Amino acid sequence: MPEIERNQKTMMIFSSDLDKVMAAFNIAIGALSMGFQVNMFFTFWGINVLKKENMSLKNKSLMEKMFGLMMPKGVTKLKLSQMHMLGMGTWMMKKRMVAKKIALLPELLELSQSMGVKFIACEMTMDMMGIKQEDLIDGCEIAGAAGYLEEAEKSNYNLFI
């Protein structure tokens, strides 16, 4: 039996801060360019990254509606972890990135998907926050801790972001 090549890159995306998520996607795209398989497991606040912008809050319980209203829907709504300043800081930073031709998050997400990143949504988080498969962007797998750890075990690079 040949030994498994443990060279995948796996990131657990726990945060939905704009800056941290951007760092994660830049790492992902770098690693994909070098030919590695990249797995991104979105848990807790990180699940917000995978939400459809037009995710519906119909047919949700009161508490699920509250979670839905209070948390960002998708990559265009994320905020900086610092200097958000009621939106001004986040807006300024994005403006600066455009001026400097630095790719913004929606482009990074699209690019990494076209390069074959594997997005995995955390099952327990979805259950906890009342999020269904149809609330997430296309192409996501769903798994629990065991599924995540299987990918981690095939990886020589594991981050918690």
What tokens appear for 96 in the block? Answer: 């600066």
Measure the CA–CA gap between 38 and 30, rounded to whole angstroms: 10
Measure the CA–CA gap between 73 and 124, rounded to whole angstroms: 18
> Helix, strand, or coil here: 45?
helix
Q: How far is the CB of 138 from a copy of itself (least distance, A)?
A: 26
Q: 18: closest CA among 89, 70, 69?
A: 89
Our finding on whether 78 is near a copy of itself (CB under 8 A) is no
Handedness of CA 87, 89, 95, 98 (dihedral sign): negative
Amino acid at 132: K
Our finding on whether 69 is near a copy of itself (CB under 8 A) is no
- Considering the complex, state which of residue 93 and residue 140 has its C-beta at the smaller distance from a copy of itself: 93
- Considering the complex, state which of residue 138 and residue 141 has its C-beta at the smaller distance from a copy of itself: 141
- Considering the complex, state which of residue 92 and residue 138 has its C-beta at the smaller distance from a copy of itself: 92
Binding positions for a copy of itself, rule: CB under 8 A: 6, 12, 14, 19-20, 22-23, 26-27, 29-31, 33-34, 43-45, 63, 66, 70-71, 81-83, 92-93, 96-97, 100, 102, 124, 127-128, 144-146, 148-149, 152-153, 156-161
